[in-house]
Amino acid sequence: MITYNFDEIIPRKGTDCVKHDALDAFFGRDDLLPMWVADMDFRSPDFVMDAIRERCQHEVLGYAFPSDSYWEAVQYWLRRHYNIEANRHEMHFIPGIVAGIAFVLQAMTKPGDGVLVTTPVYPPFLDLPSNNARQLVASPLHVENGRFAIDFEDLEWRARQCSWMILSNPHNPGGTVWGEETLSRIAEICYRNNVNVIADEIHADLTHPGHHHVSFSTVSDHARDISVTFIAPSKTFNIAGLSSSVCYCPNESLRKRLFGYLDGYEIANGNIFAYVGAEAAFRHGEDWLRQMLQYVQSNVGYLRQFLSEQMPYVRAVLPEASYLPWLDFGELGLSHEEVKDRLINHAKVALNDGTTFGGKAYRGCFRLNIGTPRAILKKALEQMAAAF
């Protein structure tokens, strides 16, 4: 078995990556430690790179389609990690989950329809409804015992205004893993109110040891009947640039409408490496994933201890899945702009601004990416502590 080195620091600047090369455009300076965009600084797995290199030996890169072996690999992964027995006709390739969510809204809703989200949440969930002339309806989460929790009374009231819900499972930011009871309650609320659910489970494979991911569609017959689930190897194996995702839709009526839209407009095809890379990841990724999760979980432990000892004024939601803790600097008594200035111009670190995850309610909050070698995380935290 290969032992992977996640302490390796790989220079990424100058590779046209958003995380490193778009700093100046987003933060006004390019000398920051990039702890924002949700990809990892770890080397993409050898088995993915080897599969791509092997395919490149055939020097014709013509039109491609997802092969039977690709779909067998996807079915294996869904069975092993999601407890989903998916038939081939229940799945569709998608060139990225954000695009997939937009496709659902276009195919399955009409202008003015309400789309429910729980905030704070991944910013495209907020932008997609508005950008597609739909009505965004937000139900705020609250923090209980260091993790996000849902206000079910508020969720039900807001669900009455909506036709679809976009569910982040596990949640981004913060990495809270929604348990079976929580997902079952969401399913019943949505079913009662004729709300269908887009379950974005892109972070599911990144559930840390000691926690258990439950796929939304598996919690009840109602959940299965009202859901469209998106998965992807992109976050799991740090191959987001391949734009490779999968949609799973077991309800025949929903499936015919959505897949008919995708095929009718020919908007859900992939590039050749999207298929090759994903198949290699799903077939050979277990050991790499296990080792990577152990490393990220150790980063969570390091962050927890550092905050306790050096930055006790920060209230944090620490990940049970993925690598995106949510930090609240509110106890400092500084304005949001003052905190932001300290981070950028004194600590010289780039974090995601919390207000982009749901508006003014999240002033003083920021999302930190700890999917990085420990030395980089240590340096970033030390610079933040000194700045405050």
Nearest by Cα to 381 from 295, 306, 305: 306
DSSP letter at 88? G
DSSP string, 50-118: HHHHHHHTS---------HHHHHHHHHHHHHHH-----GGGEEEES-HHHHHHHHHHHH--TT-EEEEE
Distance separating alpha carbons of residues 291 and 281, to the nearest angstrom: 14
Cis peptide before 34 (omega within 30 of 0): no
Cα four-point dihedral sign 66, 70, 72, 77: negative
Per-residue model confidence (pLDDT) at position 1? 82
Cα four-point dihedral sign 61, 65, 68, 70: positive
Residue 251, exposed/middle/buried by CB under 10 A (0-12, 13-18, 19+)? Answer: middle
What distance lies between CA 97 and its chain's CA centroid? 9
Distance separating alpha carbons of residues 257 and 106, to the nearest angstrom: 11
Mean pLDDT by 10 residues, the chain (388 residues): 95 96 97 98 98 97 96 98 97 97 97 98 97 97 97 98 98 98 98 98 98 98 98 98 97 98 95 98 98 98 98 98 98 97 98 98 98 98 98
Per-residue model confidence (pLDDT) at position 204? 98
Q: Which CATH architecture best describes the domain 18-45+286-387?
A: Alpha-Beta Complex (3.90)
Counting every residue written for the chain, the total comes to 388
Per-residue model confidence (pLDDT) at position 8? 98
CATH topology of domain 59-284: Aspartate Aminotransferase; domain 2 (3.40.640)
Q: Return the structure tokens found at 381.
A: 């935290």
| Tokens 């990577």 -> residue | 292
Q: Return the structure tokens found at 205.
A: 């494979």
Nearest by Cα to 46 from 280, 235, 293: 280
pTM for the full model?
A: 0.97
Domain boundaries of the chain, sorted by first residue = 18-45+286-387, 59-284
Asked whether the beta carbons of 168 and 141 are under 8 A apart, the reply is no
Backbone φ and ψ for 224, nearest 5 degrees, come out as: -65, -40
In sequence order, the β-bridge partners of residue 228 are 198
Q: Return the structure tokens found at 362.
A: 């999240």
Give the chain's radius of gyration (CA, Å): 21
